[in-house]
Chain A
């Protein structure tokens, strides 16, 4: 076990995780997931929000097993390696807001940082614009960190508290399997509270068992290796530390090779799957997302992994993302392949104002 642990925390750990993600994500696309969306925490969170009826965009409703696997895989790793430490109390309300705006930004771009890398590896050059925005947002977050930004300290919480998020994930798994239909529509057909898309990206998915298994594996590895798609650039710029960045390079190379092998590499800007070509708002959406993720301490995947090891604040961020997805669609702010939605730009501007205010305002309180 100690050999394994040494491997996981060594330079090779994030690289191994990057390779696993880079290989399995295109395979999930091959098995049914939407194009360049083997794994996307934002898109999958949005699908879950839709499946729960929090928004009613009919083409993006599905309970994605990968997300459930991320949390439960991390839980298993944390239990085995004694890192299951329930904790909370580090500005949960602010983290909830950051989760909302991170999701709003990601859905203007149409993908979280994970998908930005996967889109790039599939030849979607619009992702380059998004990644420039992401790095800009991370840079802005670093500026605030250098100025003393902090969401404050968490405190240990009772053991039972740490099980809340894993149990929520198990509840989601049960809802996926049983898909209860308690309501009746105008024609008397069964409907809700769980909604699954009949067409569009929400209807495209790999078999449940495979998606769940991939999620569990990635969750396990990422918990051990601290894999983070935002921390990669943050640590490179702020700490001159390429430990996590090497994992992203590995992901990009592995996904590119597997996409080539599977015939899924289609270079260009136009007609890319679940993507639009608007340069300004591909940039702007990810600028907002990068800032919000940096202020919250990590990418959306990392927030799921942390919630699996008992971090209640990361769990609140994740719930903020789910709510953000619902708000994004209900306020007509989420982009579509046709381009940004009518209120997408306004939502990004509001989000940037709120996140900059949080970056300037939040400091660790002085101790008495």
Chain B
């Protein structure tokens, strides 16, 4: 079983990407969560929410121009 949780938040309005990310990391004490987004606002918001709770954030640009935020703790 993979210990990576993936959330596809592409195309969703505020505050859904940040809300989905927050709901996912709240259930975990650590590990890796990948969040797919396609807007700068969603990327900023998810990153900020994660960092506020002690998660590290790495941003990868995908070939289609979207972003993969890799949250680790």
Contact = CB atoms under 8 A, between A and B. Distances in A.
B13 A235 contact: no
Interface in B48-73: 48-49, 52, 65
Interface residues of A, number: 29
Nearest to A155: B11
Given A9-B44, A85-B39, A239 B13 contact: no
Contacts of A150: 12-13, 16
A206 to B, nearest CB: 30
B71 to A, nearest CB: 15
Contacts of B19: 145, 238-239
A205 interface: no
A112 B31 CA distance: 43
A270 interface: no
Contacts of B38: 85, 156
Contacts of B15: 145, 231, 234-235, 238-239, 297
Contact of A145 (B16, B45, B48, B52): B16
A296 B13 CA distance: 8
B11 A239 contact: no
Contacts of B13: 90, 150-151, 154, 296-298, 313
Nearest to B42: A226
Contact of B14 (A85, A153, A298, A364): A298
Contacts, number: 57
B48 A87 contact: no
B68 to A, nearest CB: 17
A150 B17 CA distance: 11
B22 A239 contact: yes
A60 B17 CA distance: 39
Interface in B18-60: 18-19, 22, 38-41, 44-45, 48-49, 52
A239 B39 contact: no
Nearest to A83: B40
A81 B39 CA distance: 12
Interface in A84-105: 85, 87, 89-90
Nearest to A305: B41
A115 interface: no
B11 A231 contact: no
Interface string A320-352: 000000000000000000000000000000000
Nearest to A13: B44
Interface of A: 9, 81, 83, 85, 87, 89-90, 145, 150-156, 226, 228, 231, 234-235, 238-239, 241, 243, 296-298, 313, 364
Given A89-B11, A241-B45, A297-B15, 4 more contacts: A83-B39, A226-B44, A243-B48, A297-B14
